[in-house]
Amino acid sequence: MLYVNPLDAPRLYELAPLGQDAAKQRMALEELEQYFARLLMREMRGTFHEGGIFPRSAQREHFEDLLDEALSAEIARSGQLGIAQMLEAQLRADDIYKRVHHTEPSPASNPGTVLNPQTAVK
């Protein structure tokens, strides 16, 4: 299910921001949408009452899990929920904002920076 290793994500972001690789970013956002859809389907399935023609069994639960995974993958691939598209737009807007307002932090904004070495308290 997951094609992006979440444990490698912090190290990869240090080397190159995820936004520079649009394919990986899109894949990660689709996986997030798939995960959300799967959780949604599992919670909806939990609202059904027990009983009926077929009793609850381990095989039935396994089949339902596989079905939920396949349906959630198709929902994410089609973009029906639109979560990946909204997050991608937010990330793009944030990237543009950072490019436009790229400024170096001033020494006054960092409280650990001493402006005048003669006035430093020891």
The pLDDT tens digits for 23-76 are 888 888 999 999 999 999 999 988 887 777 777 888 988 999 999 999 999 999
Q: Note whether residue 110 is domain-resident.
A: no
Q: How far apart are CA 37 and CA 26, in angstroms?
A: 16
Nearest to 74 by CA among 34, 36, 42: 34
Q: Note whether residue 119 is domain-resident.
A: no
Q: Are the beta carbons of 33 and 76 closer than 8 angstroms?
A: yes
Residues 6+ apart with CB under 8 A from 77: 30
Count how many domains the chain has: 1
Determine the 3-state secondary structure of 4 from DSSP: coil
Please state whether the predicted TM-score (pTM) of the whole model is above 0.95: no
Tens digits of residue pLDDT in 74-92: 999 998 889 989 998 898 8
Q: How far apart are CA 73 and CA 95, in angstroms?
A: 28
Q: Note whether residue 38 is domain-resident.
A: yes
Q: Note whether residue 117 is domain-resident.
A: no
Residue 68's domain comprises 1-45+55-99
pLDDT value at 105 more than 60: no
Average pLDDT, the chain: 77
